[in-house]
Structure formats: structure tokens, C-alpha cells
Chain A
Amino acid sequence: ETGVTQSPTHLIKTRGQQVTLRCSSQSGHNTVSWYQQALGQGPQFIFQYYREEENGRGNFPPRFSGLQFPNYSSELNVNALELDDSALYLCASSPLGGVGTDTQYFGPGTRLTVL
């Protein structure tokens, strides 16, 4: 059974640029959630995708957007990067979509640095 995978591992961007982060959900999981984790802090919920639609969203501006594909993989897009966007971005998948109350299993994360 393949776990949650994310790419790339590390990324360096310049302020104002755009970035796309990718996530493949664990086999059998149809729901993907994205989190932002600043250094030394707990993760903050960005949004969740189920059946290719946004199922819930945290307190993040519209320049954070996402997609989910028919194979349940997902992308996180961030436009107009700001220095404060520098963080570890975590993707998590769960096996029961819709109610979204099942356990979330995390990928290794993408470390984004904005200069």
C-alpha cells in the first residue's frame, strides 16, 4: 500500500511568484486536505477536497487555491507569494469522503522558501 506522497520536497521562490505543490493520496483514499505549518508551530488547515470540489476552507486568502483530479490526487496553488508563505506544506488524505471525519494520514511535506 502506497502512502501519501508530495512533490517537490523543497522549493525556493521569489516574492510575487506563483507556485504549485502536488499530492498523491494514499491508495483507497478519496479526500485530500492541505495544511500550512510554520516553523515550530502546529499545522493550520487551508482546505479540503472531496469529489473534486472544495469541501471546507480555513482562514486563508483566495490566492491559495486547489484542485483535485479524478484519481484523487491534488494540487495546491499559491499566487503572488509573500515572505510569510514560507512554511512546510502538508497534504493529508483520508478514506471516507463527504463526512470527512475519518483519520487523516499525512505526507512528508513540501518545504517552501520565499525570498
Chain B
Amino acid sequence: AQTVTQSQPEMSVQEAETVTLSCTYDTSESNYYLFWYKQPPSRQMILVIRQEAYKQQNATENRFSVNFQKAAKSFSLKISDSQLGDTAMYFCAFMIHGSSNTGKLIFGQGTTLQVKP
């Protein structure tokens, strides 16, 4: 069975600083996708970034980047130049790719990030 673990329930960062959110996962599959989603207090889940497991290059989206360590099964999210609008709960998620996929996203428990002015 696949599992996703986010070991930091809550984090805070000063505006304009950098913060890293941790995520580890467990799977016996070799072909999968990893995602970070953001859920602000307004509750709409928004995609932040996506990483295909077969790609060695870490994904980046503007101020957001990941550190993907496949052997260690680690997928951390780095937010640079933090902004007040980054305040939200962040979820790490995993999806199998291929014929055994059922469209199921497996989520971690989430990390609540507060950006302080």
C-alpha cells in the first residue's frame, strides 16, 4: 500500500524568507507522479507543482521548487520569497502511473504554513 507522510503539522515563516516543507512516501511502484497542493482558508485546493518520477530534474514553478530524492522517497517543497498569500495548508500527494492506476490521489495529512508580516 502507498502512504504519504508529512511530519510537520505546522510551520511559520517571515514574509520574503524561504521555507521548506517535508514529505516522504512509501511505494513499491517505480512509475508515479507526485504533487503539492495548496488549500487556503477559503478551502479551494490549488495545484502548486507536479513531478513525474521518471524525471531526474526537479520541477520548478516560479517561487516554488521541489527537491525530489527518488531513492530516499522524499519530495520536499521549497517556497522562496514567501508572501502573505502563501498562508495555507499544503498537501503532498502521490498517484500511480500506468495500467494499475485508478485515478486515486493519496494525500498526506498536510502542513499548515503561516507567513508572518
Interface residues of A (CB under 8 A from B): 31, 33, 35, 40-45, 48, 50, 55-58, 88, 90, 92, 94, 99-101, 103-109
Contacts and interface: CB of A to CB of B under 8 A. Distances in A.
B44 A103 contact: no
B90 to A, nearest CB: 11
Given A42-B91, A88-B43, A31 B109 contact: no
Interface string B38-59: 0000111111001000000000
B110 A42 contact: yes
B8 to A, nearest CB: 14
A110 to B, nearest CB: 10
A45 B104 contact: yes
A99 B110 contact: no
B62 interface: no
Contact of A99 (B4, B101, B104): B101
Contacts of B93: 42
Contacts of A33: 103-105
Contacts, number: 72
Given A45-B104, A100-B103, A101-B33, A109 B43 contact: yes
Most buried by A among B96, B97, B101: B101
Interface size classification for chain B: 20 to 34
Contacts of B25: none
A106 B46 contact: yes
15 contacts: A40-B110, A41-B110, A43-B91, A55-B102, A55-B103, A56-B102, A57-B102, A92-B45, A101-B96, A101-B98, A106-B44, A106-B46, A107-B44, A109-B43, A109-B44
Most buried by A among B4, B96, B103, B105: B103
A90 B104 contact: no
B46 A56 contact: no
B81 to A, nearest CB: 25
A33 B37 CA distance: 16
A99 B105 CA distance: 13
B3 to A, nearest CB: 11
